[in-house]
Amino acid sequence: MTKARIGIFIVSLFISICPVGGRDAQLKIQTIDGNGYVSLEELIRSYRIESSFDIITQKGKLFHKSHYAVYTVSFSLFVIDGLLYRSETPVVRRQGGIMIPCRAASAIIEAFYPDVSARCSGSLVQVDKKPEVKEPAKTGKTPAVIQRGKDRIRFIVIDAGHGGKDPGAVGIGGVHEKEITLSVARRLEKELAARFPSLRIVMTRKKDVFIELSRRTDLANEMIAGNGNGLFISIHVNATLSPIISGYETYYLSQNPSNDDARSTAALENNVVVLEDESKGKKLYDDIDYIEAMMLTTQIQKESMMLAESLQGGLSGRVKSSKSRGVKRADFFVLRGVLMPAALVEIGFITHKKESKILGNASHQNSIASGLAQGIADFIRKYNSLPQ
Ligand SMILES: [Zn+2]
């Protein structure tokens, strides 16, 4: 071989192993249960990705230069460069290998190689060099990988607070919180089914039964695997020692409560944990860190705040016989680890004489359900119109 030929050979060898723009590196798409997947092994080889995998947690990490991605087998959630990415289908195992949903693999390629665009097209992942673009005008919005993978809302989980041996707050005349929450939840279910025929509406309980908080969370998270993204709305009734406090408020999860009232409301709702099987409950809360919990929290907290604001706004528009106490933050166990926008609504105070009475009233419960449904509609509209 002459020197020139060796040179050409080396150049062509380089082109063929260079993944970006090199046709030979295109990934094959395989169909599993009607969905497109790529082999993780092929992705790693073709794109010179470093990787690690923990067989105990089934969690894997991928690295390329300063970029990284985290995935977990049988979950459809990824963290890519610190942002949450939701895939429509979970990571699966096939013949000893790990298969990554095609769209998630494309998102990883784009994050690891910012100068290319990748999409699932036919039987291959099509990777193209991005055309040179001028500096985009500043819009004030931060570009985020998550927005591309953001899935539309496909289901809503309605959580009627308390139940069974846990009555929740007990108000004037012996009225139980658990009865009011279930009745409002049922009305909301009906309203949502009529308003959103294409969404799945799921209740954590349909009757007077005790369900552990972590089970409620799991039920919601298990829905993600087959259905994409959803919303979690927990309905409660508040109680306080002061008989003059009344009104409705909506919470989203935060380790930093808005104020002392928010802190005590959370303490009240979290009390139920003492009724739970201790070892079981603890184990489940520990499991929450199966994926970088902090990273998820940032993204989900933003979405949850938006959900809480929409719900509170919907209530303000429909509920006339009670007053709005605004949107607040608190650490509710039932919202911990929910992998989707989630909010907890305290629909009123069972310890306020007048409010306690109207909380049991069908027309008042209907106006709450209708306000929540309106809030959900507003949230979905805003959420789906976020930049893709
Ligand atoms: Zn409650």
Q: How far is the CA of 170 from the centre of ligand 1 (A)?
A: 10
Q: How far is the CA of 316 from the centre of ligand 1 (A)?
A: 21
pLDDT at 296 over 70: no
Q: How far is the CA of 293 from the centre of ligand 1 (A)?
A: 25
Q: Is 73 helix (H, G, I), strand (E, B) or coil?
A: strand
Residue where the block lists tokens 């930049």: 387
Q: How far is the CA of 345 from the centre of ligand 1 (A)?
A: 9
Q: How far is the CA of 17 from the centre of ligand 1 (A)?
A: 59
Task: Please give the pLDDT value at position 89.
Answer: 84
Say which residues have a Cβ less than 8 Å from residue 6's Cβ, sequence separation at least 6. none
Q: How far is the CA of 344 from the centre of ligand 1 (A)?
A: 9
Q: How far is the CA of 239 from the centre of ligand 1 (A)?
A: 9
The DSSP element (H or E) to which 224 belongs, if any, is helix 213-227
Task: Please give the pLDDT value at position 142.
Answer: 34
Query: Mean pLDDT over residues 183-192, rounded?
Result: 98
pTM of this structure: 0.66
Q: How far is the CA of 169 from the centre of ligand 1 (A)?
A: 6
Q: How far is the CA of 238 from the centre of ligand 1 (A)?
A: 6
Q: How far is the CA of 242 from the centre of ligand 1 (A)?
A: 17
Higher-pLDDT residue of 126 and 85 is: 126
Neighbours of 139 (CB within 10 A): 8
Determine how β-strand 77-80 pairs with β-strand 67-72: antiparallel
End-to-end Cα separation, the chain, in angstroms: 52
pLDDT tens per residue, range 16-55: 344 454 444 679 999 998 999 999 999 999 999 998 888 7
Q: How far is the CA of 339 from the centre of ligand 1 (A)?
A: 21
Say which residues have a Cβ less than 8 Å from residue 363's Cβ, sequence separation at least 6. none
pLDDT tens per residue, range 342-377: 999 999 999 999 999 999 999 999 999 999 999 999
Q: How far is the CA of 227 from the centre of ligand 1 (A)?
A: 28
Q: How far is the CA of 265 from the centre of ligand 1 (A)?
A: 9
The DSSP element (H or E) to which 12 belongs, if any, is helix 3-17
Structural domains of the chain in order of their starting residue, each with its CATH number: 21-132 (3.30.457.10), 151-384 (3.40.630.40)
pLDDT tens per residue, range 53-76: 887 778 888 989 888 888 888 887
Q: What are the DSSP calls for 262-322, one per residue?
A: HHHHHHHHHGGGGGS-HHHHHHHHHHGGGS-HHHHHHHHHHHHHHHHHHHHHHHHHH--SS
pLDDT tens per residue, range 200-248: 999 999 999 999 988 898 888 888 766 778 999 999 999 998 999 999 9
Q: How far is the CA of 251 from the centre of ligand 1 (A)?
A: 12
Give how far the C-alpha of residue 12 lies from the chain's centroid of Cα atoms, to the nearest Å.
46
Task: Please give the pLDDT value at position 284.
Answer: 38
Task: Please give the pLDDT value at position 384.
Answer: 81
Q: How far is the CA of 118 from the centre of ligand 1 (A)?
A: 47
Higher-pLDDT residue of 351 and 290 is: 351
Q: How far is the CA of 311 from the centre of ligand 1 (A)?
A: 17
What are the angstrom distances between the C-alpha of 11 and each of 8, 15, 142?
5, 6, 39
Alpha-carbon span 123 to 106, nearest angstrom? 14
Query: Mean pLDDT over residues 242-262, rounded?
Result: 86
Task: Please give the pLDDT value at position 71.
Answer: 87
Q: How far is the CA of 133 from the centre of ligand 1 (A)?
A: 53
Q: How far is the CA of 309 from the centre of ligand 1 (A)?
A: 20
Task: Please give the pLDDT value at position 254.
Answer: 75
